[in-house]
Amino acid sequence: MSIFNLKEEPEHFPTLAEWHHGEWSYLNPGGSVQKRIEKMQSYLGDELISSTYIYKQKNALAGSASIVEHDMQSRD
């Protein structure tokens, strides 16, 4: 089991974007995988908020978690 900041392994953007889009696209019908990648890239700063961490098991991507100020415009 290993946990990394996504900025350390940005090659996982496409896979994570596909996963997130497949799971949550119904909440954002105008979204796309590319828009998700762009949003994830905004989490690559040195700040804690916003940031994304990935979980790898046996060297394969297994999950992710993000720390964000708010994930819905209507609810801080």
Q: What is the pLDDT along the chain (76 residues), one digit of tens a residue?
A: 799 999 999 999 899 999 999 998 998 888 999 998 988 888 787 777 778 899 999 989 999 998 877 666 666 5
**Whose CA is closest to 54, among 42, 46, 44, 63?**
63
Q: What is the pLDDT of residue 75?
A: 63
Which residue in this structure is represented by tokens 């762009």?
A: 38
Question: Which sign, positive or negative, has the C-alpha torsion 74, 25, 20, 32?
Answer: negative
Q: What is the pLDDT of residue 50?
A: 77
C-alpha of 47 from chain center = 15
Taking the C-alpha atoms of residue 67 and residue 49, their distance in angstroms, rounded to an integer, is 6
Q: What is the pLDDT of residue 23?
A: 93
Name the helix (H) or strand (E) containing 56.
strand 51-57
Q: Would you list the domain boundaries of the chain?
A: 2-67
The whole-model pTM stands at: 0.77
